[in-house]
Structure 1
């Protein structure tokens, strides 16, 4: 009987600019975030994001967002437009496995109109003049978009190849954090979940304090503790993580 072909796996690799990073030891989204920051900076980008592609239910962008360096104002502004599922990014990334470049209209709908103009203007205010995007798949097959944005395009084919291979490595690290989510549910307190739920509904810390009958300082403390437990670096990422785990 013929023996199966021997399978060869390559050792873990990281580029020179991530020197000192032990990718196999990465355990939290925060660690992945810091590595993605270093990656983006090395290639001259100011922003990045990883988001699940829409699956037909038209859920909000913030619910599909996994990890990003977008400021809260940009996330809120884009989320409020409700156009992620009709964006050029979603349309283009689903058609090719190759990295592709887009301009400030990448996150806007293909069809012209007020929403497309608003999305392009929002990108312009945050200097998302050029974006490099590509499709990645989780081990189970779920599709994700990874986008690096900034003022200038990549410097050449060698840089593009290194960025892509680095991104695949970092996405593998990010995927490893997904399997650790179920245990977090038992660690979050009822108050922490309430604060995250009201924040996801658009309430400020002061408004949540009034609703829950506690001080704004206490609300802030709940956000900090929830973010730490979720491996997030700020409120927006904590909310996004809680949504993905269906805690809120």
Structure 2
């Protein structure tokens, strides 16, 4: 039997969390990232990951990744292992509409494979021992895997219902940022994107002018227009927003 007092406290905390994440003003990946961190902690997990479901062979994990709190070295190592597209997790998600729960190392590996043996023990350690995963779709039908990992045990039926609804709402919010990013990409010219990309790489306006074969004045002009189009107050904010929207 479930403890009624614990259930009431959990439901109250869940309601408070939902009330803080339903705002239509959330428009950037950074804001969704913050909400996902809150959701992950709210339900007793420590890490999350959202990635497009692979539809072919040998598709790089890093190219499918949409949002994540995984350490960068873990993303790099898992990408190098090239097992995501054939993992037990993806196979199971393709054959069920229900959430999946299990040992992270087993879910993210290929059955019978030792491909993850060379990866640091984070998957097997307490921080990411178990994983709860669901498959969600955009309004256009593109499938995504949404994972929460941690040391906690399997959620009960009530928690699964709360968690699924929360992830569904967060995913809908994330999808809005895809649309904002697409709109911004349509607005930005190829030259504006190039200037932002080189600036993000640490190049000065003088260096960018030489690389692109244009004048420093023209480079400054591109920065001014891109900053305005990205609704930013300066060049650094424009670069940060362009990176969060995956424009550069």
Flag whether TM exceeds 0.5 (same fold). yes
C-alpha deviation, 1:146, in angstroms: 0.4
C-alpha deviation, 1:170, in angstroms: 0.7
C-alpha deviation, 1:227, in angstroms: 2.9
**Unaligned ranges ≥5, structure 1:** 1-13, 199-204, 214-221, 233-237
Would the alpha carbon gap of residues 124 and 191 (structure 1) be closer, same or farther in structure 2, given more than 3 Å must change? farther
Does the residue aligned with 2:128 lie in a helix, a strand or coil? Answer: coil
User: What is the CA deviation profile of residues 8-34 of structure 1, one whole-angstrom value per residue up to 9, with x for unaligned ones?
Assistant: xxxxxx832233334322211111111
Structure 2 match to 1:226: 239
Output the CA distance in 1 between the equivalents of 2:118 and 2:167.
29
Structure 1 match to 2:40: 40
1:203-218 paired onto structure 2 within 5 Å: none
Output the CA distance in 1 between the equivalents of 2:54 and 2:199.
26
Matched, 1:112 2:109: no
Output the CA distance in 2 between the equivalents of 1:159 and 1:135.
17
Point out the structure with max Rg over C-alpha.
2
C-alpha deviation, 1:85, in angstroms: 0.8
**Unaligned ranges ≥5, structure 2:** 1-13, 209-234
Structure 2 match to 1:218: none
Contact 2:81–2:116 (CA under 8 A) maintained in structure 1: no
Structure 2 match to 1:53: 53
Runs of 4+ in 1 over 4 A off after TM superposition: 222-225
Alignment coverage as a number of residue pairs: 204
Output the CA distance in 2 between the equivalents of 1:55 and 1:66.
15
Q: TM-score normalised to the size of structure 1?
A: 0.71
Structure 2 match to 1:10: none
C-alpha deviation, 1:61, in angstroms: 0.8
CA-atom RMSD in angstroms: 3.0
Q: TM-score normalised to the size of structure 2?
A: 0.71
Structure 2 match to 1:84: 84
Output the CA distance in 2 between the equivalents of 1:110 and 1:96.
18
